[in-house]
């Protein structure tokens, strides 16, 4: 078919600790494995450099934020994208003057930055106290032209708002990407939101006829106020909402 292109995408998931070097090494290993298997665009999860620190409100954790310019982690993955000739949307905690954002930079296969996005919808609930750390994003929803496809990227809580996916689809996104951190609810450990999450995300794909990639963190992360068991279960949905590939979630009820 004239104009038809084949693009291979990959979702990933890792457990994270306060050993940042280990987290980054695991993330790089998965990128290399996915690239070795033929993936063109590879999605790592939200804020993979550290544990999900938003469980508690701690002033000292603002020290984790780094500006876009001169950020060594972003430089590392930009270089990796260039080496492997892949596109990488990379999540990070951004400091910009006196503001702080839950941000993402898209690195194309030549290592250049195709653009940046700042998370629009910021949750504020038990265990997910992001409004303490992050300003609402000021970039608006965008698309990013990579060597392989025009992509749309939103971050975690953005996924519960269908307008985000529709905006990116109307701007010409050919694939939607959602790095995320979703897990158990500290106020009610029996509540399993994993099936709801997957149905909502698959609905975005089906409603907009656009494939979707979601990468979630996995495993229990303990904080002073409690703990969250992140579901894992990263997946790829086809353009009619069917799940094409899915990593195993850790909970039998998922």
Catalytic residue IDs: 46, 119, 156
Distance of alpha carbon 9 from alpha carbon 173, whole angstroms: 14
For residue 246, give the 3-state DSSP assignment: strand
Q: Is the separation of the CB atoms in 92 and 107 below 8 Å? A: no
Distance of alpha carbon 250 from alpha carbon 236, whole angstroms: 17
Query: To which residue do tokens 């876009």 refer?
Result: 68
The CA-based dihedral angle spanning residues 23, 24, 26, 29, taken in that order and rounded to the nearest 10 degrees:
180
N- to C-terminal Cα separation, the chain:
39
Distance of alpha carbon 107 from alpha carbon 65, whole angstroms: 19
Query: To which residue do tokens 């496809």 refer?
Result: 149
Distance of alpha carbon 121 from alpha carbon 95, whole angstroms: 18
Distance of alpha carbon 115 from alpha carbon 108, whole angstroms: 9
Q: Is the separation of the CB atoms in 42 and 77 below 8 Å? A: no
Q: Using CB atoms within 10 Å of the CB of residue 254, give its burial: 0 to 12 exposed, 13 to 18 middle, 19+ buried.
A: middle
């Amino acid at each position: 078919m004239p104009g038809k292109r084949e693009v291979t995408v990959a979702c990933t998931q890792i457990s994270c600790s306060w050993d940042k070097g280990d987290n980054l090494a695991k993330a790089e290993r998965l990128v290399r494995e996915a690239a070795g298997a033929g993936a063109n665009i590879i999605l790592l999860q939200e804020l993979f450099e550290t544990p999900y620190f938003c469980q508690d409100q701690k002033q000292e954790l603002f020290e984790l934020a780094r500006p876009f310019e001169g950020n060594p982690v972003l430089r590392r993955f930009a270089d990796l994208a260039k080496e492997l000739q892949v596109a990488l949307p990379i999540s990070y905690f951004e400091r910009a003057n006196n503001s702080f954002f839950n941000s993402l930079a898209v690195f194309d296969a030549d290592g250049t930055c195709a653009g940046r996005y700042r998370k629009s919808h910021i949750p504020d609930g038990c265990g997910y106290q992001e409004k303490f750390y992050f300003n609402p994003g000021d970039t608006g929803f965008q698309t990013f032209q990579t060597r392989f496809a025009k992509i749309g990227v939103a971050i975690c809580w953005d996924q519960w708002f269908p307008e985000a996916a529709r905006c990116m689809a109307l701007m010409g996104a050919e694939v939607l990407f959602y790095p995320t951190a979703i897990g158990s609810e500290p106020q009610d450990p029996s509540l399993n939101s994993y099936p709801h999450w997957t149905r909502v995300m698959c609905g975005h794909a089906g409603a907009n006829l656009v494939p979707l990639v979601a990468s979630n963190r996995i495993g229990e992360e303990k904080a002073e106020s409690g703990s969250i068991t992140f579901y894992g279960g990263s997946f790829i949905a086809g353009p009619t909402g069917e799940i094409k590939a899915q990593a195993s979630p850790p909970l039998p009820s998922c």
